[in-house]
Amino acid sequence: MKKETASWFSPALQKDMPIVAYGDYGFALLLVPTAAADYLEYERFQLMETLAPFINGGKVRIFSVNSINNESWLNKEMEGAHKAIRQNQFNNYIFNEVIPFIKTNTSAETPIIIAGASFGALHSLNLFLKRPDLIDGVIAMSGVYDLTEYTDGYWDEQVYLNSPAHYIPNLTDEWYLNNIRKSNHIHIITGSGEYEDPSGTAKISEILYAKGIDHDASIWGTEWKHDWPTWRAMLPLYLEKIIG
């Protein structure tokens, strides 16, 4: 399996940000880490081994970035307003730096699907919903899509604007809604086992359907825990759906 790493000083985040790519061809899958993990997390937990047939078969080229959650919502020493600022800087990093990097290293026409598990699921869905003109679809695994689950009671406009469970019910801009509705690849999945919260998937599914946004929501059984074996089972299945 071909593996390449790169890094640059991010203007949005004002720090060096590494990125890793696996494979040569296929649509682009952008992975957002869980919690406070780094760009190699998915490799460490054998996701790349699991996805090797897709990668080596030229079906997908995978890109993975660092999290900055430990500089925002998971930093207990940081003021809430500053956490929200850092979140928006991360969003800008993805939109203005990572997406162009992927396009440069694939092609302008290459579709980009974003994916993540746990906190990475919330980020992935949020990033897709904010820029459906740049990101073509999402695979969100074992997520809760209400950002207040992570904000320790802090609330402001920027928390609202990064919490899909809050802003999607009030979204009326047809440009956004029409671009979101164009996607055939909105997949939201969870297990029902230990540490999973299937109510988060059920809630966001209801919200999306109320807005006329077609999507694939699935709640797996109690044998599927909030852990890597679950996500190693989920991600290949949904890649198959995208590849057709």
Cβ–Cβ < 8 Å for 17, 65: yes
Answering whether pTM is above 0.85, one says yes
Half-sphere exposure of 153 (CA within 13 A, CB side): 1
- Spatial separation of the C-alpha atoms in residues 88 and 156, rounded to whole Å: 13
| Cα 207 versus chain centre, distance | 18
**β-sheet bridge partners, residue 61:** 28
**DSSP output for 88-154:** HHHHHHIIIIIHHHHHHHS-TT--EEEEEETHHHHHHHHHHHH-TTT--EEEEES----GGGTTTT-
- pLDDT one digit per residue (tens) for the chain, 244 residues: 999 999 999 999 999 999 999 999 999 999 999 998 999 999 999 999 999 999 999 999 999 999 999 999 999 999 999 999 999 999 999 999 999 999 999 999 999 999 999 999 999 999 999 999 999 999 999 999 999 999 999 999 999 999 999 999 999 999 999 999 999 999 999 999 999 999 999 999 999 999 999 999 999 999 999 999 999 999 999 999 999 7
Number of Cα atoms under 13 Å in the Cβ half of residue 134: 22
Residues paired with residue 30 on neighbouring β-strands, in sequence order: 63, 114
Rounded CA-CA distance 134/100 in Å is 9
**Alpha carbons 157 and 150: distance in angstroms, whole number:** 15
The pLDDT of residue 36 is 86
Name the strands in the sheet holding 60-65, side by side, starting at the edge strand that comes first in the sequence: 3-10, 15-22, 60-65, 27-32, 112-117, 137-141, 186-190, 216-219
**pLDDT confidence of residue 230:** 98
d(CA 149, CA 145): 8
- Structural domains in the chain plus CATH codes: 3-243 (3.40.50.1820)
Q: What is the pLDDT of residue 214?
A: 97
